Structure 1
Amino acid sequence: MVGEADRTVLITGGSSGIGFEMAKQMVAQQATVIICGRSQEKLDRAKSEEPQLITIQCDITEQHEREVMCDRISREFDGLNMLMNNAGIVKRYQFAKEGELETKLFDEWRTNFIAPVLLTRRLLPILVKNKGSVVNVTSGLVYVPLSIQSNYCATKAALHSMTQSMRVELSKLGIKVVEIFYPAVDTPFQEGQAPVTAMSASEAAAIALKELNKGKEEIRVKMAAYLFILGRLFPKQIVPLFNKLNARDAREYNHGN
């Protein structure tokens, strides 16, 4: 993996939350950082806070918008050597009661799994040329899922599996594939329902970036590391226990809906 100052990185969903914190910290290490997101307003706000960021408005779930962005990157940033698939959405609902299940299922799969996989494939030629890396952002919930976020957990588990397969195949092309497993982080992503144990986006990004700079391929941030261990040691007990401990979130959802 190239040195910190030699990075040219595209971070999806980089206008807020962990993606924005990661972008700022990479800029501080002299990297060239491109962020993309759906909202031009959020991109403008990010740019005003960190003027060195390069911003591109793009809904990565839309093929045409992906193509336009990738064409621009190929023309203007042909030194791209890192893709960080950070964008994601979560929808909280009860599987047995949700009235718009199909729409919510597809929205999460398109954003959390299909889009990052297709974007990676589209940018593969430039990443191969530059002996670059792909960084997929998943979650500690791939090990211990939450029932109130069942589909989100499933999409991240799928991306986790795809990442492992990508690592084997793309290593033959000189590409390093990294996975960052985040715990609960207090960001707009949580829609005001972050647990009391949630860490700040700044701290989460700092820990992940430190390990990324060391060349780690699997980076489990704080609580995500514990979930990995507990899932291995107590596979039958940990899921119901973890859901019970997080029942506050489910109660808040039911009271608000």
Structure 2
Amino acid sequence: MTIKAVGDLWEARTTVKKWVYFFGAGKAEGDGSQRALLGGKGAGLAEMSRIVLPVPPGFTITTEVCTHYYGNKKTYPRALEAEVKGAMARIEKIMCTKFGDKASMPLLVSVRSGARDSMPGMMDTILNLGLNDETVPTLAKATKNERFAWDCYRRFIQMYGDVVMNVQKRPNEDHEPFEVVIHGLKHERYHADIDDPKLTVKDLQELVVRFKKLIRERTGMEFPQDVWKQLWGAVGAVFGSWMNDRAVVYRR
């Protein structure tokens, strides 16, 4: 699993197991030969960073964490949280911004799955993680583009609600629930199925409200505003996608 925003090599002789491998700014704690440990995507990003290609900084949680997760009642190694926080701090330093920053440009990350062998479309991805009710106005101010910020937020809530919180089409439903909400707003306000780019800032803000209401109604839980809760929810969902029906059938 690779988490990125946009060191010196770890020495294999260490006796402490390493769960997180950082890459960025022309350095990487890993290389292209470590597909079994880092997955194809993680190994490729590490190698590109090592040869100083313009790769956004990030880190890879190793496949050994996934093995531990399924072998220990879906729990993580005790050292993982500290390693993830340390890697995130390195990203923040390179990007000159903070994860969850409410005062200036917030750091947003993507959480992407990765396996030793390519499995396109089989596992889950989450984008724009780090947005919440307080960071989206900050993003709007930093980019001077309010519509962009709110569109990113509503897309993030939709993706997170689907992948992490399992707000998906039920057996008796014909359409995905978030798409039903979008369709309803368009016809309520425009009496037509207009293209998404024509939605205004106020439309997008209303979609955010309705998406959060949908999540609450379907799950009994609130959409998380804590960016670290968002991150760990996404990590768990990506590990969970290793055993989803698509991935299991593909591996056969």
Common fold: TM-score over 0.5:
no
Query: Which of the pair is proportionally richer in helix?
Result: 1
TM-score of the superposed pair, with normalisation by structure 2: 0.26
TM-score of the superposed pair, with normalisation by structure 1: 0.26
Query: Which of the pair is proportionally richer in strand?
Result: 1
